[in-house]
Amino acid sequence: MKVSKMRLAAAATAAVICVCMSGCGNAIEYKTFNTSSSQPESIADSSSVPDSSVTDSAADSSTDSKDDSKDDSKNDSKDDSSEPVDEPADNTVKAEDDPEYLTKTAFVGEALCSGLLVYTEGLEEDQVYTENNAHVDDIADTTWDVGGKQYELPDALYESKRTYIYLWLGPNDVSNYAPAEFAQKYQELIEKIFYANPLAYVGVVSVAPVSAEYDGTLPNGKIYDYNAKLAEMIDKIGNNRVYFFNVTTVLGDSNGNLKSEYDSGDGVHMTGDAYRALLDNLVSMQIHPYLTDFETPDDSSSKDDKDSKDKDSSKKDKDKKDDTESKSDDSDSGEESSSQADGE
C-alpha cells in the first residue's frame, strides 16, 4: 500500500514537470533569419562589411566636413592676410616745407660766409651776420642793429625773428683750436643761441673743402678732422633742432676736393656758382625736414614712481621682518612654557 502511494506521487510529479516544459516551449520563439531581410549588425560585420548606404552617407558627411574645414581654414587664412599688420610706431612726422623759409633764415659766419649775400638772390642784408675776422668763440659777442637798438648776436637773431639759423665758421679757427676744442666752442655758441631763442633751428654748415692744388695751412685732410668732430658733437647733443650739413657733398668732387668750376683761383674762395649751388641745396633740404617726437618721460614723475616703489618695497620688507620676529617670539614663548611644564 505504501509503495502504491509513492508511485502515485512520482507519477503526479512527472506530469507537472511535463506540463511546465510544454508551456516553456510555447513561450520561446526561435527565429530563422531571412537572408533577404536586413540582418542585425554585429561588431565584426559592421567593421568588415559595412552597409553601402551608411558608408556613402558617412563618406559624404566626412567629405563635407573636410571641405568645410578646408574652406574655413582658407577663409581664416585669407582673413588673416587681409588684416593690416601693426607696424612699429614711427615717432617722426614729416613737416610741410615752409614757403617763407628763405625769409626766416639767417647766416652767421666769417668772410667766406659773406659771399652768400654777394652772389645769391633772395637774401637781405640783415639776414647775413658776418665778420671778416670772426671766430667761433667771440662771434656771439658781436653787436647788431635791430629796429634801431643794439643787440648781441643771439638776441639780435631772436629780435629779428630768424627761425632757421645757419652757422658757417671754421677757417679762422684752425690755428687756434684742435678739432675737439673747436667742436666744444661750437657747442657753446649753439647753447647761447638756444638760450636766447629755444624755438630756433640751427644748421651747422661744415667747413668747406679746398682745391686739390691748395698747399696752405688748411688741407682737406685737416678739414675732414674738424668736420668729423662737429658731426660727432651734434650727434652727442641729441637735439632734434640741430642739424649738420656736409657741404662737401655739394661743393666737392669725387675725392672730396673743391670742384675746379667752383674754385675762384686761390683754392679757398669760391665762385658765384658755388654759392648759388650751396644756398639752393640748403633751402631745398630745410633744417626741419623731420620733427621727431618731443614727448619724453618726465624725469620727476619717474623718480616719484621709483621712490614710491622703493617705499612700498621697504614697507613690505619691514612688515615681513616684524612678522618673522613675532613668530620667533611666539616660538620662544611656547618653548619656555613647555620647559616650565616639563619642570613642574
Query: How confident is the model over 223-268, as pLDDT tens digits?
Result: 999 999 999 999 998 898 999 999 999 999 999 999 999 999 999 9
Alpha carbon distance 73, 85 (integer Å): 19
50 or 126: which leads in pLDDT:
126
Q: What is the pLDDT of residue 52?
A: 44
| Count of all residues that appear for the chain in the document | 344
Residue 46 domain-assigned (yes or no): no
Give how many domains the chain has, as a whole number.
1
What DSSP string runs through 215-227? -SS--HHHHHHHH
Torsional sign, CA 121, 126, 128, 133:
positive
| DSSP H/E element including 292 | strand 290-292
For 231, the grid coordinates are 658731426
Residue 190 domain-assigned (yes or no): yes
Per DSSP, the three-state class of 344 is coil
Alpha carbon distance 61, 55 (integer Å): 10
Query: Per-residue confidence at 319, pLDDT binned at 50, 70, 90?
Result: low
Alpha carbon distance 293, 276 (integer Å): 33
Residue 196 domain-assigned (yes or no): yes
The phi, psi pair for 143, rounded to 5°, reads -110, 150
Residue 299 domain-assigned (yes or no): no
Residue 52 domain-assigned (yes or no): no
CATH assignment at residue 176: 3.40.50.1110
Alpha carbon distance 343, 327 (integer Å): 24
Residue 206 domain-assigned (yes or no): yes
Residue 68 domain-assigned (yes or no): no
The phi, psi pair for 115, rounded to 5°, reads -60, -25
High-pLDDT (> 90) share of the chain, %: 47
| DSSP H/E element including 202 | strand 201-205
Alpha carbon distance 139, 172 (integer Å): 12
In this prediction, residues 320-335 reach a mean pLDDT of 54
Q: What is the pLDDT of residue 22?
A: 45
Express each pLDDT in 69-96 by its tens digit.
555 554 554 444 445 444 444 444 445 6
Report in angstroms the alpha-carbon separations of 62 from 41, 66, 71, 171, 193: 22, 6, 14, 86, 79
220 or 61: which leads in pLDDT:
220
Q: What is the pLDDT of residue 29?
A: 35
Alpha carbon distance 224, 208 (integer Å): 10
Q: Note the helical H segments in 134-219.
A: 153-159, 179-196
Per DSSP, the three-state class of 199 is coil
Quick one: how many helices (H) and strands (E) in the chain? 10, 9
Express each pLDDT in 141-164 by its tens digit.
999 999 999 999 999 999 999 999
Alpha carbon distance 94, 288 (integer Å): 9
Query: Per-residue confidence at 27, pLDDT binned at 50, 70, 90?
Result: very low
Alpha carbon distance 160, 36 (integer Å): 112
High-pLDDT (> 70) share of the chain, %: 56
Look up the domain containing 266 and give its range: 102-290
| DSSP H/E element including 146 | strand 143-146
Is the predicted pLDDT of residue 277 greater than 90, yes or no? yes
Lowest mean pLDDT among 55-59, 197-201, 322-326: 55-59
Q: What is the pLDDT of residue 100?
A: 86
The HSE-up count of residue 261 (CA atoms within 13 Å, CB side) is: 7
Express each pLDDT in 92-112 by its tens digit.
444 567 788 999 999 999 989
Residue 160 domain-assigned (yes or no): yes
Q: What is the pLDDT of residue 216?
A: 83
Is the predicted pLDDT of residue 310 greater than 60, yes or no? no
Express each pLDDT in 294-303 by its tens digit.
333 344 444 4
